[in-house]
Chains A and B, each alone.
Chain A
């Protein structure tokens, strides 16, 4: 393909950002404003199409009152946990 579609070819990083965000009643725009990124970046993160830097992961965890290890994992999260 001439210009391959933008996808994250790296090892996936699973996350529970959407679950944590909705439990706090925040919109993507609210969370984006809190951590200083564009709201579409939150969408990419929630769809696991983009893996955040450590700094952004820490900022997101702080904004959602969670530990980084509770939000991000290299293995899929079990549902309801």
Chain B
């Protein structure tokens, strides 16, 4: 009889899921594990975050492009769905590419994996600090961005992009740094 699959709610992983990624059971994802492909994925994810953040500039873009309301709604909806879907798929692929190590609890990892996971969180924390500082500078020097105000450019897309980045940064650092995963 198979052991019950333990769910780690806080980390957002399951025991079987992590164990499956740590072994080479899923050979269809092996192509993702080369450092080159992991770095490409990190670069694509970064581009995705920038595209999500660009949503804040939509009202300006719409005005500059002289779009009718109907066309604007279609372009906006299709773009939003496509970009968010792509970022979510990218996030899942990123987790697979690093074998879920960034999100796994201690009890499912060995001592080296715990060490590289913790180091990736340390660098991710630094990166988040720099990103937050960059966001703050952007808010100061781009006053047309009005956070959470429905009129004009809405800076909340920058916050959404930051939230995506927060959840992905440890895996991104891990994917970028490690030679073998």
A44 to B178, CA, bound (A): 11
Whether, in the assembled complex, B14 has its beta carbon less than 8 Å from a beta carbon of chain A, the answer is no
Contact B180 A37 (CB under 8 A): no
A residues 32-61 near B (Cβ < 8 Å) are 36-38, 40-41, 43-44, 50, 52-53, 56
> Which of B51-59, B60-68, B109-117 forms part of the interface with chain A?
B109-117
Question: Which one of B113, B123, B180 contacts A43 once the chains associate, using CB atoms below 8 Å?
Answer: B180
> Which of A2-10, A18-26, A63-71, A73-81 forms part of the interface with chain B?
A2-10
Interface size bracket, A side? 10 to 19
Contact A3 B177 (CB under 8 A): yes
A40 to B33, CA, bound (A): 13
B residues 111-127 near A (Cβ < 8 Å) are 111-113, 116, 119, 123
Closest 5 CB pairs of A and B: A37-B110, A41-B112, A6-B177, A3-B177, A50-B112
| New A-B contacts (5) at CB < 8 Å, excluding given A6-B178, A40-B181 | A3-B177, A5-B177, A6-B179, A37-B110, A44-B112
Interface residues of B, Cβ cutoff 8 Å to A = 22, 110-113, 116, 119, 123, 173, 176-181
